[in-house]
Amino acid sequence: QVQLVQSGAEVKKPGASVRVSCKTSGYTFINYYITWVRQAPGQGLEWVGQISAYNGNTDYAQKLQGRVTMTTDTPTTTAYMEVRSLRSDDTAVYYCAREAQGGPDYWGQGTLVTVSS
Amino acid sequence: DIQMTQSPSSLSASVGDRVTITCRASQGISNFLAWFQQKPGKAPKSLIYAASSLQSGVPSKFSGSGSGTEFTLTISSLQPEDFATYFCQQYNSHPRTFGQGTKLEIK
C-alpha cells in the first residue's frame, strides 16, 4: 500500500534551517510528483511547492522563493524539503503528498516545525 | 495567482442531512479541482479530483460537480465521522491555491 512517512517534530531558532524528510513506499517513485503543503496553527492549507521525482523539476511558492529547496533521492524513494532563514511565521505542520495528474492523493502524517527563540 | 473562495466558512447540520459546499475560482480552471477532508490533528484526506471523480476508497456519499469557476461538494446522509473541515484546491496552474476551508459541525 502507498505510504508516506515523515520525519519527526523540530524546534528551531529564528534564522536556522530545517530539513524535513518524506519516505515513500508502495508505488513507483519516479512516476509521481511530491507536493509540500503547510498549515500554521489554526489556519488553512498553504501550498509550499512541488518536485518531480522523475527529473527533479521544482515549482515553489513565491512567498518562500529563495528560502526553500526540495530534493528527492530515488534509491531511497525519499523526498526532502529544506527551509532556510526560518522566521516565526514559518511555524506550521508541514505535509508531503504524492501527486500525479489529479492533485494530491496520498499524504504523509505531517511534521510540526516550531520556530522560537 | 488564482483565488479560491469557499462558502460557507462554517456550516451546522444534523446526522442524516445532506449538505453542499461551494468553491469559486477567480478565473477559469476547467475541471482541475480537488476536495479534501481534514479532521483535527490529522493530515488532509483526498476525496475528489477532476472536480467530480472519487479517489479510491472514498464512499459514494461524497460527490462533486462543476467546471470553469464554480464547483460544489455534496455530502449525503451525514454521519458523525463526516463532521470535519473541507478544503478545495485548484491544480490548473502554479501556484496551487486552496480555499480557506469550510468547517462542518454537528447541530
Handedness of CA B67, B49, A77, A79 (dihedral sign): positive
User: CA–CA separation, A103 vs A97, rounded Å?
Assistant: 9
Q: Do B34 and A108 touch (CB under 8 A)?
A: no
**In sequence order, what DSSP letters do the residues of B2-53 get, joined into one string?**
--EEEE-SEEEE-TT--EEEEEEESS--TT-EEEEEE-TTS--EEEEETTTE
**CA A40-A42-A44 angle, 5° bins:** 65
pLDDT of residue B79: 96
User: CA–CA separation, A27 vs A33, rounded Å?
Assistant: 12
User: CA–CA separation, B49 vs B33, rounded Å?
Assistant: 6
pLDDT of residue B74: 98
pLDDT of residue A87: 97
For testing contact with chain A, the best of B32, B53, B91, B103 (most A CBs within 10 A):
B91
Facing residue for B95 by CB, picked from A47, A107, A109: A47
pLDDT of residue A6: 98
Please compute the mean of the pLDDT values over residues A75-85 and round it to a whole number.
Answer: 98
Facing residue for A103 by CB, picked from B91, B100, B101: B91
User: CA–CA separation, A61 vs B1, rounded Å?
Assistant: 10
Q: Are the CB atoms for A70 and A50 separated by under 8 Å?
A: yes
Residue A102 has pLDDT above 90, yes or no: no
Task: Based on DSSP, count helices (H) and strands (E) in chain A, helices before strands.
Answer: 0, 11
**If we measure between CA atoms, which residue out of A27, A21, A19 comes closest to residue A2?**
A27
**If we measure between CA atoms, which residue out of B44, B57, B19, B53 comes closest to residue B99?**
B44
- Cα–Cα distance list, B75 to A4, B16, B65, B72, B107 (Å): 28, 10, 12, 10, 15
Q: How far apart are the CA of A47 and the nearest CA of chain B, in angstroms? A: 6
Q: Do A103 and B46 touch (CB under 8 A)?
A: yes
pLDDT of residue A65: 86
For the segment B26-52, what is each residue's pLDDT rounded down to a tens digit? 999 999 999 999 999 999 999 999 999
Identify the residue whose cell numbers are 530534493: A71
- Cα–Cα distance list, B41 to A22, A95, A117, B38, B84 (Å): 18, 12, 25, 8, 11
